[in-house]
Amino acid sequence: MCKFPSDWSRDGRAARHEWLKSPHEALANPLSDEAVNRLMDDARDLAFREYISDPDPPHPNEVWHFPPTAFIRHFRACGWFSKSEFSRIYPAANAVAIGKYLASINRTFSKYCISQGLRKAHFLGQSSVESGQLHDMSELYNGDPFEYFRRYERAKNYIGWLGNVEWNDGGKFRGRGFKQLTGRANYGVYFRYRGWLAWQAVGVTWWQDARWWGFNPPYSSSHHANLLPIHNPNLVSSLVASLKPPVIDHPEVLAADPLTSIDTAGFFWANNRLLPIADSDDVIAMTNKVRGDHAQSPSQFPADAHFDQRQSETSRIKGILL
């Protein structure tokens, strides 16, 4: 707040506009007397202060104002994107997709403290690659999704990879949502977080049982990593009852519901404490966290990480937001 004369009073017009006749840091070329007089005539015609019905008005020279730049700072802090603003950030997204997801994106920013421009740039840069700029909220596949994602069911889940322990878990719990949340274990944590699954309904280390894949421990990656889940329905039922893996009947909600699709990405950020990484502006560390890689340099990422695209998207969005 600051105090300076009101622009909406007829009194004191000459004094308020006198500075326009002299060189000033905000005015390289002073106005002529004629131009200043025209400006004062306009100010007189626009003035309304004298018409305000107030028994005790403040003096025209003692009016409190918000500095105009304060409004700019305030609105920048609000952080909600309009459709036109977001179309600059995701130019490949069509109007229907932006209309479908934008409110949820804005809410997710507020809910998970993704409040600063740098945090938003990393969030949207990574998700641009994960979702194809809102085009794909479910992991792409060819043919039968259950056969296509069969590799996600292999016995390396025994050491806590994705938690897929049953036949068809790979396709059932394929990547969905803005961040492409993947795996029965990750779905289970999110469903419990949302209150859709009771915490006590899930065992602690339900995937750490070699019987899911039909081998005898100890686990050896060279011998067991590529084994697929067993087909014995009686044994599977017994394992489900005793080990209590998360039972999720409608995993497709992560892609079907707009709010849930976006919220999964915010949840992933919170659950993996990604805000400090975004604040450090480290795309390598961020990509490692998002994908589960362990690269120390861009060249160490596998081709399917699309690291160059993640880096360029984050940089491009930073140029818009910062």
Q: How far is CA 101 from CA 86, 104, 108, 139, in A?
A: 11, 5, 11, 18
- Is 190 within a domain? yes
- Is 192 within a domain? yes
- Is 46 within a domain? yes
Confidence tier at 294 by pLDDT (50, 70, 90): very high
Confidence tier at 54 by pLDDT (50, 70, 90): confident
- Is 166 within a domain? yes
Distance of alpha carbon 194 from alpha carbon 308, whole angstroms? 34
Considering the chain, what percentage of its residues have pLDDT values greater than 90? Answer: 77
Q: pLDDT higher for 305 or 40?
A: 305
- Is 241 within a domain? yes
- Is 109 within a domain? no
- Which pLDDT score, from 0 to 100, does residue 9 have? 84
Residue ranges of the alpha helices (H) in 132-214? 145-148, 169-172, 184-193
Take residue 211 and report the two structure tokens written for it: 């019987």
Per-residue pLDDT averaged across 258-270, rounded?
98
Distance of alpha carbon 270 from alpha carbon 257, whole angstroms? 20
- pTM given for the model: 0.78
Q: Do 81 and 282 touch, CB atoms closer than 8 A?
A: no
Q: How far is CA 115 from CA 85, 106, 138, 241, in A?
A: 16, 10, 26, 43
Q: How many angstroms separate the first and last alpha carbons of the chain?
A: 26
| Ramachandran quadrant class, 143 (left: phi over 0; alpha: psi -120 to 50; beta: rest) | left
- Work out how many domains the chain is built from and give that number: 2
Q: Which of 74, 91, 123 is the last residue of a domain?
A: 74
pLDDT in tens, 3-48: 878 888 888 888 888 888 888 887 888 899 999 899 989 988 998 8
Residues 151, 69 share a domain = no
- Which pLDDT score, from 0 to 100, does residue 291 have? 95
Residues 153, 66 share a domain = no
- Which pLDDT score, from 0 to 100, does residue 270 have? 98
DSSP 143: S
- Is 152 within a domain? yes
DSSP 138: B
**CA nearest 134: which of 104, 171, 92?**
92
**CA nearest 244: which of 284, 188, 303?**
188
Query: Residue 2 — φ and ψ, nearest 5°?
Result: -150, 160
Q: Which of 225, 250, 275 is the last residue of a domain?
A: 250
Distance of alpha carbon 263 from alpha carbon 17, whole angstroms? 53
Per-residue pLDDT averaged across 225-239, rounded?
97
Residues ≥6 apart with Cβ < 8 Å to 41 = none
- Which pLDDT score, from 0 to 100, does residue 2 have? 81
Q: Is the pLDDT of residue 72 over 80?
A: no
3-state secondary structure at position 219:
coil
Q: Do 223 and 213 touch, CB atoms closer than 8 A?
A: no
- Is 105 within a domain? no
Cis peptide before 218 (omega within 30 of 0): yes
- Which pLDDT score, from 0 to 100, does residue 64 have? 83
Distance of alpha carbon 112 from alpha carbon 122, whole angstroms? 14
**CA nearest 165: which of 153, 152, 181, 183?**
153
Distance of alpha carbon 114 from alpha carbon 279, whole angstroms? 10
Q: Which of 227, 250, 273 is the last residue of a domain?
A: 250
Q: Is the pLDDT of residue 75 over 90?
A: no
pLDDT in tens, 113-157: 999 999 999 999 999 999 999 999 999 999 999 999 999 999 999
Range of the domain at 70: 2-74
**Range in 27-36, 144-153, 198-207, 286-295 the model is least confident about:** 27-36
- Which pLDDT score, from 0 to 100, does residue 78 have? 74
Residue ranges of the alpha helices (H) in the chain? 13-17, 33-46, 68-78, 83-89, 95-111, 117-131, 145-148, 169-172, 184-193, 221-224, 233-243, 253-256, 258-271, 275-279, 283-291, 307-321
Distance of alpha carbon 234 from alpha carbon 250, whole angstroms? 23
Confidence tier at 303 by pLDDT (50, 70, 90): very high
Residues 151, 239 share a domain = yes
